Structure 1
Amino acid sequence: MAAERRNYTTRIAKAKTLPPRRSAINLQRQAISDREGDLSRARLVVIQAPAGFGKTTAMMQLIDADQRSGNLVAWLTLEEADNDVTRFLRGFALALHNANPAAPMDSDHSRNADLADWIIATIEDAQQPTSIYFDNFEAVHNPVVLGLIQRGIQSLPPGSRAIIASRKQAELGLAKLRARGELIEFDASHLRFSSEEAAELINRALGSTLTASQHERLYRSTEGWAAALWLASMALRDKTDAETFIQSFSGSNAAVASYLAEDVLRGLSEELRQFLLRISVLDELTPELCDAVTRRRDSADLLTTLHQQGLFVQLEDEGQSNYSFHALFRDFLRTQLERQCSDADIADLHHRAAEAYLQRKRPIPALHHRFRSRDYTRAIALLQAHLPKLLDDGRLRLTLRLIDTLPGSVLAEHSYLQLVRAWCIAFTRGPNEALAIVSGIQAEKLDSNGRANLLVLQPMLLAMTDRIEESHTIALGVLPKIDGSHHFALSMLYQSLTQTSIILGEHDNARKYVDKIRGGSIKSGLFGAVLAESAEGLLDLMKGQLSQAITRLQHAMDTFASSREGDRRGITLAAIQLAEALYEAGKVDDALKLVDAYSPLVQEIGPADALISASVVHAKIVYEQDRNRAMELLLELEERGRILKLPRVVATARLQRANFWLAEGNDSGAEEQIRIAEQLFEWPDLNQCWYVANDYLTPEICRLRWMLRTGKVNTALPQLRDATREAERSQHNRRALKLRLLLAEAYQEDGQTNLARRTMGKALKMAHSEGFMRCLTEEGNNIAGLINDIQAGHDGGEDAPSLAPAEPAHAVGNVLNDPLTPKEMQVLSLLAEGLSNIAMAEKLFVSESTVRTHLRSINLKLDAKNRTEAVVIARRLKLVN
């Protein structure tokens, strides 16, 4: 079954990843030709217009321009099913593989993150720029998919671009690209045919010439609308009196298409007319499916006839005899079908289609047809039979769309579907909406398994809304009511209790819940293993055991990678926790890769800590080289917090903004942000409450830092001593490390030099032993002098670490402890030649932001403060000439 599913996915994706066949009438549009010279500087080309305006044809003309310039061309026709993240990424990956067969795609890629990594690497490593075409873009509305596309566009290397065709405005942050001059836009006004182009189209289609007056009247009637002109040309083929036909219609909207299509339909035989109407219920046209729906055996011949006559159907895959309707004509045919056939007859067509798909072991399209038939009894029975697989595969949006087609009166009779709907909404639209639904579900109408899942869902949702204590109390009350036979409910309850116990500081209890799963008392499988490792990795991180945290979290990720068919719940949280740990260790490239891949997956629903960590880590990484982008990320985080009603998220965005502004010398602005953050959220005692995202990003620490930088040392010093002692007492060691750095700075400012050095020495010893790097560099020049003193061999007290004074911190002799990667060596070589970031990006076919990321990593590994120092150190180590 799994092999069949993979083969089917590949076959369908292949048809989607090939540009449509060119029309025999290949007319070059002047509006497109006029902008071809601007393509080299464009990051995105948007073609937006209603149906039938020739968007796809315009893209084909742009493909010609790309091929002339040597760009690789990847094509993906989008559809509703591509709102499934996995399906979208697989289709996208296959499109890139078709464009660049030299980059072989590993068929074992099963995780979304692996596919995303492969896609990014393929585009960046290609020897030529890549142009990526997305047709029917309006079909995509999943914010996660849109987020992946938006981030991908932002990171395209020079010369590469995305081209999208859509009926509506694309939600891709167009204003920013427009302001940067990286956007080319075509709308209906650009795509309307000129009078001369319309005449050429009609003449080519008819093989004869209308009079100038007839051309002009036909052009005025259609207003240059491509679909209407094409339909008119088809209708005129069989008209002996062109003058009468041209006078018989007017207008430039869908009514023209309907009129013309109906005229063409009337000219067909009754057999072909009925065949077209009945197969219009299908979204894809194959001879086998058409035979099943129409109960014929000659659909292959009829489809060939329709295609050869240029009527209604277009060939998608010549080898497989797969066809499709133009959307405009399909809608027209369905309207005609509804007018001519009874509801019962149409329902019967959908039933036949569903049965055909089920025979081919394709339950998803079968479900769609069951629901379109409006025979809800049979539709619900089929849905319930496939619900376990749908939910296990994470097809939550699809499941929700199907359930939402049910009338309210029907849904009210099925409490279990209401429960499933709440579950789907929680992980697609957010927990607040799901909570409102849960309160209205009648538990007495559920079976024992349904009741167990309902009991567990409420504390889970409360935890997702950051109502930690309430969630924990309810979960403890629910625990005795769930027996071991309800494996899934019990595993989710233990997950909820693990997370809330960690946050509330009940770490022994957290480990107890983890051991319940890991010890095999419930059948949690892969999910339990990842939960155990990621939960303990989170604790290790906050307790300052960075190297162990990275090992645990990486193991959690690797556990998923080793199982292609395994349960993938929880992987996103583990990935973002790993990104934060890698960032702390100075491995910003690896951290950024994880953030780029997984951040879109938490933007819509949270939870709060994952949402904060992903955005703040990303902002910190890009801040040094692209301040505006960092500030945009914090604004986006603040907005997501408001939408999700998570005040801690909103407050934390302001705290990080305060840190940035304080580093820039905007003391008053920073203080205002801290004050607002203090008021936005009722902050608990964060020495007792272990929020991983607010481990040291707290109002208290931000305000203490602000006091130090604004000359209020006498006020800050006693508070810093108390806070440091409390953090160490509670074994909150990562926070203690940050506080000790600030305490050393305070002692230095207060003139207590020996205490400052001793305090800094203790902090450096911990940082050195565990590999903490970024928590030091974030404080910048304020502690640089103390660190240099200790590294230069000054007396830092008995706690001072032993660091070699003669070599950079990360080098011994001429060998780096953390060697440069091949790509970093290329960047370093170009840097030594004196090239700018833009010039390096163009030479390496990567984005400028990628170059900046490599430069940051080079500076860290060489212990250099700037580009010039990096080159000096590299020459001393004989890395470059």
Structure 2
Amino acid sequence: MPATLPGLLDRSALLPLGEQHPGLRLLLISACAGAGKTTLLAHYQAHCLEQGRRVLWCNLDPADNDPRHLAATLFSGLSERGIISADVPALGQLPQWLLEQLAGCPEAFAILFDEFDVITHPDALAFIQQLLKVLPTHATLGLASRTLPELNLGRLRALGQLHEVSSEDLRLSLEETSHYLRQCHQLALAQDDIARLYQRTEGWLTGLYLATLSLKRHEDPSAFINAFSGATPALSEYLGEDVLARLDEPSQRFVLQTCVLAQFCPALCDAVTGRTDSAAMIQALEQDNLFITATDEQHLQFRYHGLFADFLRHTLARRHPDWVAQLNRAAAQWYTAADHSEEALEHLFAANAIDEAASQLVSQVDHLVENGHASLMMRWLSRIPESVREQHPGLGVAYAWALIHARRYKEALQVMESPTLADQQHHIRCLLLVINDRVTEARQSAEQLLPRLPCDSKSPYRVTAYVLASTLYYSGRYDEARQLLGSDRLREAQSESPYLRDVTDSLEALLDITQGQLDSGMSRLLAANGRSRETLAGTPPVGFPVLQTALCLVMYETDALEQAHHRLNELLPYAREHAAPDSLITTHVLLARITYLNGDRQGWMRYLAELDQLGRVSGSSRILCSSWLERARVATLENRLDTADHAMRSAEQHSDWDQPGILITANDVDTPYIARQRLNIAQGTVDPDDLLQAMNQALTRHQHRRALKLRLLLAMALEACKQPKQALEQLTQALGIASPVGFIRTFLDEGAPLAALLERWSVTFHGQESALGIEPRFVAHLLQRCHTGPAQEAKAQESSPNALSNRELQVLRLLALGYRNREIAEKMFLSELTVKSHLRKINTKLGAGGRTEAVSIARIQGLLD
């Protein structure tokens, strides 16, 4: 029995079996070393024997290049199996006599040759060609070979008498790899580990088998798989002894010289090796199945199998260490001449030509930045010593830009504040200052830089204008911020940049919200989102995190939790990769809150843990602080006051960003001061006068959303301090401010203490809402939502299927106010189809025949009081 790979999957599906190939004359398995050729040929042998066919298996060796020796080998085996006569022919006539015997053989049989690649002599190949010609229709010749044999196969192929199996056919799929490792070798591997091993081996059987030998005794499979390469001892030994050593000297030299190339063509190989016949060499390697693959349909570009390339590079470094730099420099020169700068740079770094790489990179920085190659820039720039970067200021800026995209904000700012760049007024430095929450410095820097930027300075102007507008807003200089956002020059820049247009619209909307104009901010964001989706349909807008985060904030504030949750989940993967701190904080905190409200505490903790991780990577104390503030808020609402105090102390350790007079978007109502006051109320240690002073400061600065939050806390503090009249007075003012514009979650997020105060207010001022300037049913709606969160509402619907859901009540109220379907959809952040669906359910539950009747029945039932 021939040797096979232990535990190999049954690949017999690749074979011509049964009656599907009645005229098969030649089975040719031509594939690279270790692909499973022998095993597949053994499968075919077994199937032939099962069908009652006689089979001769021959392991060939170089001696069989003599036709007489090959004929003698065949005679011995065929006569022993009774396929031909055992009578010995006259000396010298054996080959011809054997062919005549086989041609007249009446029984079905198969002759299987393993390691056929050793047959290279023309006379031996001519004998095999004759054998193929005389084989009867019920006989088959099977060949397993590393190379494509020099036989005339065209006629057999045209007649359908040839079945070919290649290296590609023998590759395992990911699913087969998983089965092979888990079932055949009983390895308990995670699917991610299997996927990585599959990617490294590309489904090559011997590579997988050799990996299993080590995995069975390795304590850390993931670490082994991560390190598995062509230099791994067992694999390196196999490739050295069974592949490289079998090549002639010119072929060995060629593969070692070209292994430095990730991808190659004949012209590149000529330039690197100094040859003029690389095309012929590549063709020969392809015919020999030497782990080489064409990467295009035209067969102009090629690559080596990843593990084989690893092995060759390891061998090159050991045998010819002086060649490495020489070969990479030659490749870099060829790529530079061909205007392929990225590939040229890769080879310069591989050649350790750092100064030359730095000089060439300087000329490519603008192109790389414009095309968003941040990770590529990071990989190159991190390999350039700081001393070399200092000689090229442009590289310092590029390095800072790459660090921004890697969210290493503090490191990026350190680069921009290095002695080489410190004196430069640069838009990247302005951006980094604001990202690192150094708002005043960022504003001052942007104010100095913006007037000096030329009209054709597109990216620098856009970034600097955005920084200045943001910092004016954060500093409370709202009129100046709006003036800049509406300036002619910025409007002109917006026409060329959808990103800048989204950002400026978002900033204006956030200004509205901060100043208490939630309805205005909502309308602005809906219009911006509609335009952005319309002009960039099918592609995620560049400004997606900024615009969409602001929209999610409004959805959450207006209690459109389902819509906010859906959109936040869409946003999250993009935000993880691209968003700045404000978007990251808002995205994660809102998702955590909605998840918590839905009863998923583990999900709430998971989002906050991810925010923690992002904060540590970026070095942003505000991100870290925000995650602790949310923990403190929930612990306070749950009356776990010791836990809340611990979380508050952790938040306060990261509160260096919280400066007097500065309001930053994601934390306008989530600050260490506000969270501490909430906890003080729960602990009974609050000072209402302190809250009154903070509220008045916020009003003076026109920070009306923050003032609303502080007023609610003040009302709760007064209630806790046994000043019920004053508490209701503050709550009345808060309701009058919030109800016309739709602030809802600002109230609901304060939980049971505020709900109790609202209950008392409702009893005290029942029926007086309109007289007090409060929208009718606003308080009733707040109380209903206090007692029925999303999870409770779902349960209530299950127990009372005819009761209107909170969302249906909202639709019904807007319907009663005379709004059309489209207007209702816009106000509730729904599609018109969803609104129509709600209306159908309302009609069904109320037994109404239409919109007017539904409103009438709802009034009778007191649903619209």
8 Å CA contact 2:622–2:655 kept in 1: the answer is yes
Q: Following TM superposition, by how much is the alpha carbon of 1:335 offset from its aligned partner in structure 2, in angstroms?
A: 3.4
Tell whether the 8 Å contact from 1:289 to 1:356 is kept in structure 2 after alignment: no
Structure 1 equivalent of residue 640 of structure 2:
666
CA distance in 2, matches of 1:765, 1:304: 82
In structure 2, what is the Cα distance between the partners aligned to 1:779 and 1:313? 66
Report if aligned partners of 2:512, 2:518 keep a CA contact under 8 Å in 1.
Answer: yes
The residue number in structure 2 matching 1:708 is: 681
Q: Give the superposition deviation at 1:398.
A: 0.9
Within a 5 Å distance, the mapping from 1:810-849 to structure 2 comes to 832=798
Does the 8 Å contact 1:803/1:809 carry over to 2? no
Once residues 526 and 226 of structure 1 are traced to their aligned partners in structure 2, the CA distance between those partners, rounded to angstroms, is 44
Q: 1:59 aligns with which of 150, 153, 174?
A: 174
Checking the alignment, whether the CA contact within 8 Å between 2:769 and 2:776 is kept in structure 1 is no
SS at match of 2:426: helix
Partner of 2:166: none
In 1, Cα distance between the equivalents of 2:808 and 2:517? 25
Give, in whole Å, the separation in 2 of the partners of 1:738 and 1:782: 14
Q: Give the CA deviation at 1:412.
A: 4.0
> How many matched pairs?
626
Aligned to 2:850: none
Change (3 A) 1:259 1:581: same
Deviation of 1:535 after TM superposition, in Å, equals 1.7
| Structure 1 counterpart of 2:625 | 651
Deviation at 1:330, TM superposition (A): 0.5
- Give yes or no for contact 1:426–1:434 (8 Å, CA) kept in 2: yes
Are 1:461 and 2:461 matched, yes or no? no
Instruction: Report deviation, 1:585.
Output: 2.3
Query: Percent same amino acid at aligned positions?
Result: 25
* Correspondence 1:392 to 2:364: no
* Match for residue 473 of structure 1 among 424, 444, 454: 444
Match of 2:255 in 1: 276
Residue 272 of structure 1 deviates from its aligned partner by: 3.1
1:292-334 CA distance string (max 9 Å, x none)? 7668898677556545644323567778787543333212212
Q: Deviations over 1:488-509 (max 9, x none)?
A: 3333222222222211111222
User: For the structure 1 residues 329 and 586, does the alpha-carbon distance in structure 2 shift closer, same or farther, using more than 3 Å as the test?
Assistant: same
Q: Answer yes or no: is the 8 Å Cα contact 1:488–1:524 preserved in 2.
A: no
Is the alpha carbon distance of 1:784 and 1:706 closer, same or farther for their aligned partners in structure 2, counting shifts above 3 Å? same
CA distance in 1, matches of 2:603, 2:540: 35
Q: What TM-score do you get using the length of structure 2 for normalisation?
A: 0.60
Q: Quick one: distance in 2 between partners of 1:64 and 1:857? A: 49
Q: 1:875 to 1:189 in 2, by over 3 A?
A: farther
SS state at 2:774 partner: coil
Question: Equivalent of 1:531, from 499, 503, 510?
Answer: 503
What is the rounded CA distance, in whole Å, between the counterparts of 1:522 and 1:563 in structure 2?
15
What aligned pairs does 1:245-644 form with structure 2 within 5 A after superposition? Answer: 254-263=232-241, 264-284=243-263, 306=285, 309-313=288-292, 324-338=303-317, 339-340=319-320, 342=323, 345-347=326-328, 349-351=330-332, 354=335, 358=339, 364-373=342-351, 379=357, 383-406=361-384, 410-440=388-418, 442=420, 454-479=425-450, 481-484=452-455, 486-516=457-487, 517-520=489-492, 525-553=497-525, 555-556=527-528, 561=533, 562-563=535-536, 571-596=544-569, 598-599=571-572, 607-624=580-597, 625-638=599-612, 640-642=614-616, 644=618
Partners of 2:177 and 2:236 lie apart in 1 by: 30
Q: Which of residues 844, 849, 853 is equivalent to 1:878? A: 844
Would you say the 8 A contact 2:522–2:554 is kept in 1?
A: yes
Deviation, structure 1 residue 254: 2.5
Paired letter, 2:605 = M
Determine the C-alpha separation between the residues in 2 that align with 1:484 and 1:522. 13
CA deviation string 1:364-407 (max 9, x = no partner): 43543454355567655654444323212221221232233445
2:204 aligned partner: none
Instruction: State the one-letter code of the partner of 2:587.
Output: A
C-alpha distance in 1 between matches for 2:225 and 2:583: 48
Is this contact kept in 1: 2:557–2:746, CA < 8 A? yes
Counterpart mapping for 1:108-147 below 5 A: none
Question: Partners in 1 of 2:229 and 2:578 — Cα distance?
Answer: 46
Seen in structure 2, the aligned counterparts of structure 1 residues 289 and 21 have a Cα distance that, compared at 3 Å, is farther
* Aligned-partner Cα distance in 2 for 1:356–1:348: 12
With over 3 angstroms needed to count, the CA separation of the structure-2 counterparts of 1:741 and 1:439, relative to structure 1, is: closer
**Conserved? CA contact 1:761–1:800, under 8 Å:** no
Mind listing any 5+ residue stretches in structure 2 that lack a counterpart? Answer: 1-31, 41-170, 184-189, 202-207, 218-223, 785-789, 814-838, 848-865
Pick closer, same or farther for the CA change 1:58–1:504 going to 2, 3 Å. same
Aligned amino acid, residue 697 of structure 1? D
**Residue identity in the other structure for 1:612:** I
Specify the alignment match of 1:191 in structure 2.
212
Partners of 2:584 and 2:518 lie apart in 1 by: 21
1:544/1:733 contact within 8 Å kept: yes
Shift of 1:660: 0.6
The DSSP-based 3-state class of the residue aligned with 1:665 is coil
User: CA contact under 8 A between 2:266 and 2:279: conserved in structure 1?
Assistant: yes
Q: Distance in 1 between matches of 2:549 and 2:458?
A: 27
Asked whether the equivalents of residues 400 and 415 of structure 2 are also in contact (C-alpha less than 8 Å), the reply is: yes
SS in 1 for 2:290: coil
Q: Cα 1:570–1:21, aligned 2, differ >3 Å: closer, same or farther?
A: farther
Give the C-alpha shift of residue 691 in structure 1. 1.7
* Residues in 1 aligned to 2:672 and 2:549: alpha-carbon distance in whole angstroms: 23
Q: Which runs of 5+ in 1 are unaligned?
A: 1-19, 29-55, 69-130, 139-163, 168-186, 199-224, 232-252, 445-450, 812-819, 836-854, 864-872
Asked if structure 2 preserves the Cα contact closer than 8 Å seen for 1:741 and 1:759, the reply is: yes
2:637 counterpart letter in structure 1: A
Root mean square deviation, CA, Å: 5.4
User: Secondary structure of the equivalent of 2:776?
Assistant: coil
Deviation per CA, 1:435-456: give whole Å up to 9, x if none. 3323335369xxxxxx86x533
Task: Pick one of 711, 716, 732 that aligns with 2:703.
Answer: 732
Q: Aligned ranges for residues 119-268 of structure 1 at < 5 Å?
A: 191-192=212-213, 254-263=232-241, 264-268=243-247
CA distance in 2 between counterparts of 1:189 and 1:258 reads: 10
Indicate whether 1:771 and 2:771 are aligned: no
Secondary structure of the corresponding residue to residue 192 of structure 1: helix
Flag the 1:718–1:61 CA change in 2: closer, same or farther, 3 A: same
- Per the alignment, residue 846 of structure 1 pairs with none
CA shift digits 1:667-704 (9 cap, x unpaired): 23223433453454257565x32122221112332233
Q: Which amino acid aligns with 1:727?
A: A
Quickly say closer, same or farther: Cα 1:808–1:756, change in 2 above 3 A. Answer: same
**1:553-611, CA deviations, whole angstroms, 9 ceiling, x for partnerless residues?**
45555665525999976543333333323222223344345544555666689754334
State how far apart, in whole Å, the 2-side matches of 1:585 and 1:649 are: 24
Q: Measure, in 2, the Cα distance between the counterparts of 1:684 and 1:230.
A: 50
Report the CA distance shift for 1:369/1:597 in structure 2 as closer, same or farther (over 3 A): farther
Q: Evaluate the alpha carbon distance shift between residue 763 and residue 429 of structure 1 in structure 2; reply closer, same or farther with a 3 A threshold.
A: closer
Please give the alpha-carbon distance, in whole angstroms, between the structure 2 residues aligned to 1:632 and 1:566.
Answer: 29
Letter in 2 for 1:578: L
**For residues 651 and 876 of structure 1, what CA distance do their matches in structure 2 show?**
44
Structure 2: how far apart are the matches of 1:319 and 1:829? 62
Q: TM-score, normalized by length of structure 1?
A: 0.59
